Amino acid sequence: MVNYIGVAGLRTLLQRMGVAPFIAALAEEIEADYRRWDQFEKSARLASHSDVGVIELMPTSDGAQYGFKYVNGHPKNTDLGLLTVMAFGVLADVETGRPVLLSELTLTTALRTAAMSALAARWMARPDCRRMALIGNGSQSEFQAIAFHHMLGVRELVLYDVDGGATAKLMHNLAQLPTLADLRVTRADSVAEAVRGADIVTTVTADKRNAIILTPDMIEPGMHINGVGGDCPGKTELHKDILLRPDVRVFVEYEPQSRIEGEIQQMPDDFAVTEFADVVRTGVSARRTAEEVTLFDSVGFALEDFSALRYLNRLAAEHPQAVRQIDLIPEVEDPKDLFGGTLGAAVKGKARLRRVA
């Protein structure tokens, strides 16, 4: 039998632990794995693109365990009553190849994306950041707000989305959370209004196109930009001249993948970036001056999902009530007799019934 954590199981874990502490603990898991960056197999995700979206596989291994995530991205799914992003993942033992965990990763992806955003900002943003602009108020926005409030002390959140209903939804959801009682949330009428005076700007829009959400004139000294929405070929959120500014320093997760999918897909191959692993392994803040503008060009990397799967697998042992077991793989007395150990009795029984008839 294989452990399975579904949506209900993850909800049980979050109710017991709290969403914000779960995100913070997951961020610690991710940071620890980035510190051992050289132990991981690394590759850009395998993507199957269509006119309406993308389906991707994201695998990695540290030599002891192997994990992968299946995930889609279909911006028009909301018109069909479906989520834009849906995912599941598997964690397996390298020595035997046996799966040890099958888990939902739709909700977990939102949690780990927020954890990674706040983790990167902890290394890159000014320590006195308190005001954040959140551009794009869809499915990821609540998680980003919770993470930055809990992990970085953000106390003022300014929202903007082209869909006013999405902003109203976000404001309603945040108002229901007692842990965010000291978070001041306001809505802006434009991107420019939202980012004015912001310490941190998070962009997390969903349109599958080369959009220009931020322009160079919106960027202020000392800002940290958390670019989350540009995460596949042909999908960006920032004007390329932002990246060319001399005061902007760009950080990525895994450079070969980011050059295909991130904001830096707009840039020449020799455009200089710094991988996040190189930051955490120095133990020194990535920010060189208070006036420098830092940009985390986030596309999501398989290591982060691997960290999430390992974290969930450990929680499965600590909270068995959140876990089910499923017969994903056969269990047989004789490992050389797959047929007899699984179908033999059933086939014999069917043959016997035919003879009686």
CATH code: domain of residue 26: 3.30.1780.10
Phi, psi of 87 (to 5 degrees): -155, 155
Q: Do 324 and 234 belong together in one domain?
A: no
Q: Do 291 and 322 belong together in one domain?
A: no
Containing structural domain, residue 6 = 2-107+304-337
- Please determine, for residue 92, whether its predicted confidence score (pLDDT) is greater than 90: yes
Average pLDDT, stretch 122-139? 96
Average pLDDT, stretch 97-109? 97
Give the count of beta carbons closer than 10 Å to the beta carbon of residue 280: 21
Bridging pattern class, strands 54-61 and 46-49: antiparallel
Q: Do 173 and 282 belong together in one domain?
A: yes
Query: Sorting pLDDT into bands at 50, 70 and 90, what band is 354?
Result: low
Give the count of alpha carbons within 13 A of 158, CB side only. Answer: 18
Q: Do 146 and 285 belong together in one domain?
A: yes
pTM of the model: 0.93
Q: Do 131 and 267 belong together in one domain?
A: yes
Say whether 231 is catalytic.
yes
Burial class (CB in 10 A: 0-12, 13-18, 19+), 319: middle
Q: Do 312 and 282 belong together in one domain?
A: no
Q: What is the CA radius of gyration of the chain?
A: 22
- Please determine, for residue 173, whether its predicted confidence score (pLDDT) is greater than 70: yes
Q: Do 313 and 293 belong together in one domain?
A: no
pLDDT of residue 211: 87
Q: Is 52 domain-assigned?
A: yes
Average pLDDT, stretch 105-132? 97
Q: Do 149 and 267 belong together in one domain?
A: yes
Q: Do 259 and 316 belong together in one domain?
A: no
Q: Is 348 domain-assigned?
A: no
- For the stretch 226-255, pLDDT in tens is 999 887 788 899 999 999 999 999 999 999
| Percentage of residues in the chain having pLDDT higher than 90 | 87
The catalytic residue among 33, 161, 231, 297 is 231
Q: Are 192 and 212 in contact (CB under 8 A)?
A: no
- For the stretch 179-208, pLDDT in tens is 999 999 999 999 999 999 999 999 999 776
Q: Do 41 and 147 belong together in one domain?
A: no
Dihedral, CA atoms, 186, 190, 194, 200, nearest 10 degrees?
130
> Based on the structure, what is the number of domains in the chain?
2
pLDDT of residue 353: 47
d(CA 98, CA 29): 23
Q: Is 344 domain-assigned?
A: no
DSSP string, 236-247: EEE-HHHHH-TT
Question: Of the candidates 244, 241, 157, 243, which has an alpha carbon nearest to the alpha carbon of residue 204?
Answer: 157
Q: Is 27 domain-assigned?
A: yes
Question: Of the candidates 326, 328, 316, 327, which has an alpha carbon nearest to the alpha carbon of residue 9?
Answer: 316
Sign of CA dihedral 219, 135, 24, 254: negative
Q: Are 148 and 119 in contact (CB under 8 A)?
A: no
- Please determine, for residue 355, whether its predicted confidence score (pLDDT) is greater than 60: no
